Structure 1
Amino acid sequence: MPAEHSWERRLPLPSSPARALPKATDPRVRSAGSSPVAAGRARVLAVTSLKRSVALPDVPTLAESGYPDFDLNDWNGLFAATGIPPALVDRMQAVVAEAIKDPKVRERLDPTGADLVANTPV
């Protein structure tokens, strides 16, 4: 009997944390270190989050700059169809949690100022 949903077929998950997030280790992905700011062609005036960026610790937040209620962040997440097997959700979360600990992944993402979190599924 054919699978009704694509997730019902066996999904190969990466065996290596670095392979779980291939773009994070791809040298073509731009980071703060390769930006116009790093090249001295632009200057960062403020960051939009309530806390200072790890990648730009000397740059104030907009809240520190006189806009106390300004808090703008972006985030990324993994989503799945309703009814996905809990074991697959748990496996996906475990792979991501392991990947963000990988030194190669951290080496690529830390300079971007990303605050890496591997929350448990909700």
Structure 2
Amino acid sequence: MTYKVLSNCPVCSSKLRITRLKCSTCGTVIENEFELSKFAYLTNEQLGFVEVFLKCRGSIKDVEKELGISYPTVRSKLDEVIEALGYKAIKKPKVNSKDILDMLENGEISADEAVKALKDGEF
């Protein structure tokens, strides 16, 4: 049985480094310090979101349908993943009422989300 590689220390939560690799066929062992991919540090929930996002080819509307969540929630989860990968998420600028109504008309947001966005002036 194989296990997912731990990416953070269970004691202090610091990032772990791989120091030993072993071939399961011939038994060759390589020892050194190896870095994990940035994706190894994502939570299982974040990895699941990334998988759905890629499967949907980045279409937020399709991600909404696949996960059964709202447009703002998809954006929030995407920003969370972007920041977890070490990048600064670009916050969407405030949206004017015409843009909100266009998104509602195109089915990108629900009526409740449009009402909230019109009140708040942003997504």
With structure 1 as the length reference, what TM-score do the two structures score?
A: 0.24
Higher strand fraction (1 or 2): 2
Q: Which has the higher contact order (CA 8 A, sep 6+)?
A: 1
Between Structure 1 and Structure 2, the one with more helix by share is 2
